[in-house]
Amino acid sequence: MAPHPAADLTGQLLDGRYRLHEVLGSGGMGAVHRAEDTRLQRIVAVKVLPHTATDDLARARMRTEARLAGSLHHVGVAQVFDYVETSESVDGLAYIVMEHVEGHSLAELLRETGPMPVEQVMSVLVQVSDALAAAHAAGVVHRDVKPANIMLTPAGRTVLVDFGIAWSDANEPLTATGTLIGTADYLSPEQAAGRTAGPLSDLYSLGVVAHHCLTGTSPFRRDSQISTAVAP
């Protein structure tokens, strides 16, 4: 079934509680809004997957994302507060309510500044490594470690976000074996080959991120995603 077109939900009040404001980012797994929790009077981030009533696989993936990210309690992982999936929501929406991380992504910083100082790169790598260690200890593999999924706060905190394609060996697989999962520039060799990703896959991707931070370029960038993914 073809996906429904994304609707502009800015200004909507979800389930009488979460007022959606501007879109912070969007992708195949939904749009993330800055939002207000009107009950607790705080700013949160709400990742919305629209029209889920007719898309069981998308619902299952978002449910898995909420459960896996919500199982991690680490300063380097954005906290999950709630997951809502109900036919009574606006247009049958499902959504995750998360900590709103103030700041900008590592990808934005690299676009603006190019190569980063070694000391700053080391701070980012240590903090992301700590977050990944916590995830891996809980049996969770992120599978999409890249600059766009690393947030930097003004206070110097580094936060790993977007567990949308994360995997745990406790889960039923939602993607067929042989399917390319992740972002081509940062894929581990086993992911590029369509094999199962593990903790070392995340560390490989983090190593590629380190190269990008230090040099300003991805080491494997080619003319297409496929050629990038399989680059030596």
Q: Do 30 and 49 touch, CB atoms closer than 8 A?
A: yes
The alpha carbon of residue 222 and the mean position of all alpha carbons in its chain are separated, in whole angstroms, by: 24
Q: Quick check: is 4 in a domain?
A: no
Q: Quick check: is 154 in a domain?
A: yes
Judgement on whether residues 83 and 109 belong to the same structural domain of the protein: no
Judgement on whether residues 116 and 219 belong to the same structural domain of the protein: yes
pLDDT in the model for residue 231:
46
Q: Report the chain's mean pLDDT, rounded to a whole number.
A: 85
**Region 222-231: what's the mean pLDDT?**
46
Q: What is the CATH number of the domain that holds 127?
A: 1.10.510.10
Q: Quick check: is 155 in a domain?
A: yes
Among 37, 64, 99, the domain boundary falls at 99
Judgement on whether residues 21 and 86 belong to the same structural domain of the protein: yes
- 230 or 120: which carries more pLDDT confidence? 120
Instruction: Tell me whether residue 55 is one of the annotated catalytic residues.
Output: no
User: Per DSSP, what are the bridge partners of residue 168?
Assistant: 140
Judgement on whether residues 117 and 203 belong to the same structural domain of the protein: yes
For residue 181, the enclosing domain spans 104-229
Judgement on whether residues 81 and 139 belong to the same structural domain of the protein: no
**Region 14-19: what's the mean pLDDT?**
95
Judgement on whether residues 37 and 84 belong to the same structural domain of the protein: yes
Q: Quick check: is 32 in a domain?
A: yes
Query: What's the rounded Cα separation, in Å, for the pair 161 and 183?
Result: 14
Judgement on whether residues 220 and 112 belong to the same structural domain of the protein: yes
Residue 65 CB coordination number (10 Å): 22
Judgement on whether residues 85 and 113 belong to the same structural domain of the protein: no
Q: Quick check: is 121 in a domain?
A: yes
Q: What is the pLDDT of residues 43-89, one digit of tens each?
A: 999 999 866 545 678 888 889 999 999 999 999 999 999 999 876 55
Q: Quick check: is 142 in a domain?
A: yes
Q: Quick check: is 2 in a domain?
A: no
**Region 213-231: what's the mean pLDDT?**
65
Render the burial of 209-228: b for 16+ CB within 10 Å, e for the rest: beebbeeeebebeeeeeeeb
Local confidence band at 26 (pLDDT 50, 70, 90 cut-offs): confident
Number of domains in the chain: 2
Q: What is the CATH number of the domain that holds 59?
A: 3.30.200.20
Give the active site residue among 15, 56, 130, 144.
144
**Region 201-228: what's the mean pLDDT?**
81
**Region 177-195: what's the mean pLDDT?**
78
Judgement on whether residues 90 and 149 belong to the same structural domain of the protein: no
Judgement on whether residues 127 and 47 belong to the same structural domain of the protein: no
Local confidence band at 176 (pLDDT 50, 70, 90 cut-offs): very low
Judgement on whether residues 110 and 212 belong to the same structural domain of the protein: yes
Q: Quick check: is 134 in a domain?
A: yes
9-13, 35-39, 89-93 — most confident range? 35-39
Cα-based distances in Å from 180 to 88, 176, 177, 191: 35, 9, 9, 6
Judgement on whether residues 41 and 73 belong to the same structural domain of the protein: yes
- 21 or 192: which carries more pLDDT confidence? 21
Q: What is the pLDDT of residues 118-144, one digit of tens each?
A: 999 999 999 999 999 999 999 999 999
User: Which backbone phi and psi does 63 adopt, to 5 degrees?
Assistant: -60, -45
